[in-house]
Amino acid sequence: MNNSIRTRTVSGLAVLVLTMSFAAFLYNPSEGAAASAPAPLLGSASGFAALAGTAVTCTNSTVTGNVGVWPGTAVTETGCPVTGTVQAGNGVAKQAYLDFISAYNNLAPLNNTCDSTHTLAGTLNGLYLSPGVYCVDAVAKAGTLTLDAANDPNAFWIFLVNGALTGTNFNVVMLNGGQPCNVDWWARDAATLTTSNFLGTILAGAAITVTGGTFHGDALATAAVTLTGTSITACQAVSSNGNGNGNGNGNGKCNQGVGNGPENCDPGNSNNHNPSNDELGGTPGQPGRKR
């Protein structure tokens, strides 16, 4: 993969903006930013509010979306209603986890191009960022970060955290028509959010811990996911862009074939957003949907 590096200044800070010959990204070289860049496909991991490699522990929280763990099997719910399906150590969880790992690995090489000169440093408080790919240091985040979509519903942000993503009283705000789930936070290590109101999907190379506050996105971790006194809403659980993604950024997928079981997702324009072939009773050779 060939990368070219451009820099720009946001509130006096140098920002790394990567333009790449990578099919999953669409960049505008004249702007040096990913004005409409979709994230690497999350596949079946999309819509998992919490997806872990070892265990999910949820205490006094609410979860809107699916919960999954693989290769681990432990899901502990204490005062934790889940609006979705719990997948523990089964084939569904395995495929979702493998899709997450694929997306994580696709983003990892970008982090190798980040250096101290081209990295957003500090808490990110008070910054207004247009769509793009940003390198971020591992300093604890606090205050308010504002993402301005400039009325582009397909605007996308990718944040590459070279270390652990941590935030206390850290709020992420979206302006001018942006989609909260069009934000990805890739963290080399763990992610820990405390009393924060967070937007975006976290792809963490270790554990994710969320205490208090709110979380609008998917929490995807190679280790454990721990939720305490928080409210988390998965991307696919709250929005759909009519093409089966469920989150507006290409993260989801909906298999329209028969004989594959229900997909529990919006199949897009086929059959006017009715359920998929299997969900309409189709069998191989006799699709259930109608034109």
CA distance 63 to 227: 9
Query: Does pLDDT of 284 surpass 50?
Result: no
Tokens coding 178: 């942006």
**Residue 15: predicted pLDDT:** 41
Identity of the amino acid at 55: A
Burial of residue 93 (number of CB atoms within 10 Å: 0-12, 13-18, 19+): buried
Q: Where are the alpha helices (DSSP H) in the chain?
A: 91-111
| Between 146 and 20, the higher pLDDT residue | 146
Residue pair 170/185 in contact (Cβ under 8 Å)? The answer is: no
For the chain, what are the domain ranges?
3-20+54-233
pLDDT in tens, 54-109: 999 999 999 999 999 999 999 999 999 999 999 999 999 999 999 999 999 999 99
Q: Is the pTM of this model over 0.85?
A: no
**How much is the average pLDDT of 161-172?**
97
Specify the DSSP element, H or E, that contains 102.
helix 91-111
Asked if residues 242 and 225 have their Cβ atoms less than 8 Å apart, the reply is no
pLDDT of 39: 56
pLDDT band at residue 180 under the 50/70/90 scheme:
confident
3-state secondary structure of 249: coil
Q: Report the alpha-carbon distance of residue 129 to residue 157 in Å, rounded.
A: 9
pLDDT of the residue at 40: 63
Distance CA 196, CA 25 (A): 29
Q: Which pLDDT tens digit goes with each residue over 133-147?
A: 999 999 999 999 999
Query: Above 70 in pLDDT, residue 27?
Result: no
Confidence category of residue 118, pLDDT binned at 50, 70, 90: confident
Question: pLDDT: is 8 or 148 the higher one?
Answer: 148
- What is the helix (H) or strand (E) element at residue 9, kind and residue range? strand 3-10
The percentage of the chain sitting over the pLDDT mark of 70, rounded to a whole number, equals 67
Predicted pLDDT at 237 = 65
Task: For 219-265, write each residue's pLDDT tens digit.
Answer: 999 999 999 999 999 987 654 333 333 334 444 444 444 444 434 44
CB 275 within 8 A of CB 254: no
CB count within 10 Å of CB 210 equals 28
